[in-house]
Homo-oligomer: A and B are copies of this chain.
């Protein structure tokens, strides 16, 4: 049996730290095969590696300070000082994927937003079979120009497949044009089924969108919003969004017209979810992130250390 030998090899390698040569002899195969078997074992999630903050030490480091400031669990990812934002995204996504793999188990429901960040995370997931679990899309994804559904749909599908979970898509646009349409659609059974599932989410996974971005987030670039809408948002003091629901830097999100047409859960709705994992990379996202944290959308924050530093600085420099 394929996996059986991989398990033996992985056990001998990681738990008993034998060299691959010894394992090869035991299993009567070549050393290279053992190398491949162990790689396989890692890929299918048979091997789980966790690195934990040493418990001691006076909360002087970024992680503890973030935790103390915002009442969240912070996972600060070390990155090289001069790495590009894309590299950082990759690193942070790798860590987030690992964490998700540890937290998500059988019979759970995972809610995911869609976007560059979540997509990067999906790319780093390591196969981990579960049973009876579900992956549900948190916000709509079709826009006026392209259906956009393929993208979000592939993403959800890939994540679900990774966990052997069933996937639940959300067949609505990111924003409705008219609030009334939303009200009506929300009564459709095809939609309300998804909404029901969203209420059962155990872990939510999302990034934040930044309105102020030099490189605009997917939501703003791909024709989801008109110029007119963008202007209105700016005038309202909006800095970004979480799951297509916009907010200001102080964490408020009321009286923002477009939110009545948005399809994702509001911060208030999100807060009903036990574990809410927010993954962020990029200094330009700091104001949006600050607002998101003040709206208490996250219980866990995964970010690179430079962004973390900037976030803390801005949070303490301009207390809301």
Contact = CB atoms under 8 A, between A and B. Distances in A.
Interface of A: 1, 3-4, 6-8, 10-12, 14-17, 22, 25-26, 41, 44, 46-57, 61, 77-81, 91, 94-95, 98, 129, 131
Nearest to A83: B26
A78 to B, nearest CB: 4
A288 to B, nearest CB: 25
A129 B16 contact: no
Contact of A51 (B46, B55, B79): B46
A22 B54 contact: no
Contacts of A15: 49, 51, 94-95, 98
Contacts of A17: 94
Nearest to A14: B49
Contacts of A4: 54, 57, 61
Contacts of A79: 26
Contact of A12 (B6, B7, B78): B78
Contact of A3 (B47, B50, B54): B54
Contacts of A94: 15-17
B61 A25 contact: no
B46 A48 contact: no
Contacts of A98: 15
Contacts of A26: 78-81
Q: How many copies does the complex hold?
A: 2
A224 B43 CA distance: 51
6 contacts: A11-B51, A11-B77, A15-B94, A16-B77, A47-B49, A49-B49
A3 B50 CA distance: 16
A21 to B, nearest CB: 12
A80 B22 contact: yes
Given A16-B91, A26-B81, A54 B46 contact: yes
Nearest to A106: B55
A139 to B, nearest CB: 28
A183 to B, nearest CB: 44
B7 A51 contact: yes
Given A4-B61, A22-B80, A49-B48, A55 B12 contact: no
A51 B129 contact: no
A124 to B, nearest CB: 9
Contacts of A78: 8, 11-12, 26
A252 to B, nearest CB: 35
Contacts of A51: 7, 10-11, 14-15, 41, 46-48
